[in-house]
Structure formats: structure tokens, C-alpha cells
Amino acid sequence: MNSIDDAPALAPKTFRFSDVDEFRNAIRGLSFEFTPFVRKISAEQTILSLPGCDVNLTRAFPRVVDAQLVENCTAIGFTMDDLNVPVRFNGSVRARPVVVIGSGGAAYTTIEEVQRHIASVVFRPEVTDRGWPHAVSSFKIFETTAAGLNRLRGVVREVLAVASEPVDAAGLPSKAVAMKESLLGAVDEAFESVVPARWILRPNDERNFRIFQDIRALLSDDLSHPIYSEEIARKLNLSVRTMHDVVRRYRGMSLHRYLRLRRLWLVRRRLLAGADSVKAVALAYGFWHLSDFSRSYRDQFGETPSHTLELGRRR
């Protein structure tokens, strides 16, 4: 018979990352793309798997995120810190106690300008019988009371802390199910505490979010040749003004800056794959002013393009 010290545990797992691609590949349950705002990342992710749900606690880094949830699940997201720096969520910026929700297939975009601690609870299968808001095509955000949000945060902290404690094998399933029930109850309380607020109409606007998704999909294609505003507007049957407004709303930056950042990351990916030359890759992605390209690359990644190419070839 095992002693109590040898008893099984639910055992949350913690992973630490300093490499962008390793972090990207570790994300579960989401189609996940991001562009860091920093040269080097330092991230940490703790994952606890319970029957029917996963609890995720992430120490993130400044970045742009675009994500889409996998099918047949419901995800609840919220911050675990009280920084007075808001996250731009689906085009809206508010430093308020909020909780976001999405069901299978729902998408969202965020801009996190500083390091944040973010929690998510993903329930499988999709939760449909507790009166939570319906959010299928895009994640929805709701302002809640500080008490409701703190209750949810507190349950997540308690679950992660207690999960590692040893328990008799016979009691393990009951403990896990009880934890899930506590999480469900905390989410119930957060949504019961929702504060009526007009500002949530903007980030929950599905029409404009679909326009942004169409623009992003076009810009996610191969950017190995310059794409100009008029061309994008024509392809999507939009006015140039509408397109610029939507990009600035959801990206918090100009279309020109966003395209430049994306091209820099595409160049880096190509160099790490072992390209023929820095010049050939830079020109392929529209950087015709090579000295300006090298300076921008060094400012973004903290190393020269030639150094990145050397790393790629060694790999």
C-alpha cells in the first residue's frame, strides 16, 4: 500500500519558454497566431487537466494575438493581475473587471502592451445548460463586479494550489470532479454579477469583427510582394477609409506598421529555416531599402539578420 507521500496527485504542469516558436507550438485548444512586441520573450504556462476541463495560467509578454477556439468546447478568459493597463480586446480598450467567453469556433483578437498574467478555463464538451452568454462566431466580453472577478480568480488559485497535494487513489476522481464544479460555480457567479455597460457593444460587434477577420485573412496570405491599401480595399469590396478605421480599431496601429511587423517576422522565419542570403529574403518580402531593413530588424529582434541566418544554418 502506498504511503500518503506516495499518493497520486492531479499535478499541474508548468512550462517555461524563451523561444517564440516553442511557445507557439505549446498552445493547445486554439488556432493561435501572435506577433511579439519584444526582442526576447519570457513566458510561463501552467496547465491543470481535470475531467471535462483544463485550467491554464499564462505569464505572457507584450504581443498581438489572433486566436480561434477548437470545436465542441467553451472557454472562459480573464486577467489574474490588477495592472491599470487595459488589454485591447476585439478592438476596445477598458481597464475594468471583465470576463470573456467563446464557444467552439469563436475567434478573438487582443493587444497586450505589457506582460500580463492571464487565466483561461476550457470546458469540454461545450457548456449549454447554465445560462451563460452565447458566443459562437466571436468571443464576447462582459464587465463584471470586482467581487465576481476576484471570486473566479480565487477559485483558480485554490484549484492550482490544492491539485498538487497528495490524495488517496480512490479519492482522486471525486477531488477532480469537485474542483470542476467549483470552477463552474465561480463562472456562474461572474456572469450573475455582470454590470450593464454600453461600452461592451463595441467589442461584441460581430459585423465589424467579421470585416476585420476578412482583412486579417487576406494579410495572412503570402506577403512576399507589396500589398497596398487600394488593392486590399478592392479585393474586400470596402472603402479605403473603412479598411483603415477597422485595422486601427482592432490592431491599435496603422496598416503600414502592422504589415511591416508581419513582414519582419516572416523574414525571420525564412532566415531560421536556412535561406540562401539575407538580401534575397529581404527583397522577397518587400524590403528594398536594405540598410533601413537591417536597422528595423535589429531593433525588433536584438540581433542582425546575418546572425539569425547563421543560427538557422546551424540548426
Tens of pLDDT, residues 165-204: 776 666 677 888 999 999 999 999 999 999 999 999 999 9
Query: In whole angstroms, how far apart are CA 35 and each of 95, 108, 301?
Result: 22, 15, 12
The pLDDT of residue 9: 53
Residues 210, 216, 218, 221: what is their CA dihedral angle, to the nearest 10 degrees?
-140
The pLDDT of residue 4: 35
Which residue type is seen at 24?
R
The pLDDT of residue 95: 87
pLDDT at residue 80 tops 90: yes
CA distance from start to end of the chain: 48
Residues 233-287 pLDDT 10s: 888 899 988 888 998 999 888 888 888 888 888 898 889 888 889 999 998 888 9
Residues 6+ apart with CB under 8 A from 240: 229, 230, 233
DSSP 93-140: E--S-EEEEEETT-EEEEEE-S--EEEEEEESS---SS-PPP-SSB-E
> What mean pLDDT, rounded, does the chain reach?
87
Which residue type is seen at 83?
L
Spatial distance between the Cα atoms of 271 and 266, rounded to a whole number of angstroms: 9
Considering only the top CATH level, what class is 4-201? mainly beta
The pLDDT of residue 168: 66
The pLDDT of residue 6: 41
CB 126 within 8 A of CB 148: no
**What is the pLDDT confidence band of residue 72, given thresholds at 50, 70 and 90?**
very high
pLDDT at residue 226 tops 70: no
Label residues 15-27 b or e (16+ Cβ within 10 Å = b): eebeebeebeeeb
Where in the chain are the domains?
4-201, 212-314
Q: What CATH number does domain 212-314 carry, 1.10.10.10, 1.10.10.60, 3.90.1150.10, 1.10.1740.110?
A: 1.10.10.60
Angle at 230 between CA 225 and CA 236, to 5 degrees: 95
Question: Cell for 100?
Answer: 470573456
Label residues 259-275 b or e (16+ Cβ within 10 Å = b): bbbbbbbbbbebbbeeb
- Listed in sequence order, the DSSP H helices in the chain are 20-26, 146-163, 172-192, 206-219, 229-236, 240-251, 255-272, 278-284, 290-301, 305-314
The pLDDT of residue 284: 86
**What is the pLDDT confidence band of residue 100, given thresholds at 50, 70 and 90?**
very high
Spatial distance between the Cα atoms of 166 and 33, rounded to a whole number of angstroms: 37
